[in-house]
Amino acid sequence: MASVLARYRWRLVERTEHHLGYPYNLDFEYGALAQLQHFSINNIGDPFIESNYGVHSRQFEVGVLDWFARLWELEKNEYWGYITNCGTEGNLHGILVGREVFPDGILYASKDSHYSAFKAARMYRMESIKVKTLVSGEMDCSDFEQKLLQNKDKPAIVNVNIGTTVKGAVDDLDLVIKILEESGFKNRFYIHCDGALFGLMLPFVKRAPKVTFKKPIGSVSVSGHKFVGCPMPCGVQITRREHIGAFSRDVEYLASRDATIMGSRNGHAPLFLWCTLNKKGYKGFQKEVQRCLQNAHYLRNRLREVGVGAMLNELSSTVVFERPRDEEFVRKWQLACQGNIAHVVVMPSVTIEKLDSFLHELVQTRSNWLQGGRNPAPCIAEEIGGENCACALHKK
């Protein structure tokens, strides 16, 4: 067993060194929590109502929820939430709340939304409409308005992306609200904000639009294992307390109530999140966000310098570029690909040194793919815009 685990550990070390395509912050250290790994900590049921199961971390969970409620400007007596097992669960819960508030509502989500939005529609047997996107990946609000007006008889449940999966695009929340209110949907809509990655980064970006419950939104979810950095998948879901009564139920077996999706919930995750939030604080996260954005601009600029088409949205640390033709290279650097494009998500654990190593290898292998210029660079203008493409037709 020791030999097997040692080999596995070294594989994890190597894979971590070449991790660029997925939005996980791998720079963390939780040695102080080792003393708690001997306990089976389970936060089953409602975080705010203690159950008969006494080995829990509810006090830490509520501390984490209070932190995010303050970040998104919702008073302590006006919010409800819980720590989920992943970002997808946050979306499933947020959309479920919307469906309970408006049982006959239609789900609107852009085609660049995370697949879990449409998974929710299938699971809940909801009518859903896919909205077009701009080349940036942001929701096309003209198409959204047009599709809204075709269905004025039914309430709208809208999934707003605070950073899309592939391009890191941020939907225009203020414009979405304006369109809903001007199209006759006032008091007949529910907005869930999917902030899996950028929901925590956006508040620390200068001049960025605010995601806040002072606006008429219903819920916000964020992943805990992405920007925060946590050794297991987890997330945070916050909604308005007034919505939860619709489907919260007493569970005699637990001597508690439950409005979550899962039953048992990982009680260790709140401890990891609580430690990080307290250790870094607002100022620590602000520094990390600024460093990520600076390193993302560095990567985008260096890719363009070596003749690789690349795009970076203004509020994002996701750099999109032409898909490498060598699948072995893609697997080595764990790049996330879609069609003709791939991306690197610059997280706090992604250093300039790691980006330089990636760039050096990309330039070498790309020269082989293009055979010293005999094969043309691919055109990806449709995916990232002509101004960002480096093919012969669009190259400046």
Which residues is 79 bridged to in the sheet?
A: 240
The Cα–Cα gap between 104 and 341 comes to 37
Active site (annotated) includes residue 3 = no
Find the catalytic residue in 136, 223, 316, 317: 316
94: CB partners within 8 A, 6+ apart: 159, 192, 193, 194, 218, 219, 220, 221, 237, 239
Q: Are strands 341-345 and 336-338 parallel, antiparallel or unpaired?
A: antiparallel
List Cβ<8 Å contacts ≥24 apart for 75-81: 77/241, 78/213, 78/240, 78/241, 78/242, 79/213, 79/238, 79/239, 79/240, 79/241, 80/48, 80/238, 80/239, 80/240, 80/241, 80/243, 80/244, 80/259, 81/47, 81/236, 81/237, 81/238, 81/239
Neighbours of 202 (CB within 10 A): 21
Coil, helix or strand at residue 131: strand
Question: What is the Cβ-side half-sphere exposure of residue 15, based on CA atoms within 13 angstroms?
Answer: 10
For residue 75, count CB atoms less than 10 angstroms from its CB and return exposed for 0-12, middle for 13-18, buried for 19 or more: exposed
The Cα–Cα gap between 139 and 179 comes to 13
Question: What is the Cβ-side half-sphere exposure of residue 58, based on CA atoms within 13 angstroms?
Answer: 16
Q: In degrees, to the nearest 5, what angle opens at C-alpha 362 toward C-alphas 361 and 368?
A: 95
Cα 320 to chain centroid, rounded = 16
Q: Are strands 235-240 and 79-84 parallel, antiparallel or unpaired?
A: antiparallel
Which residues form the catalytic set?
316
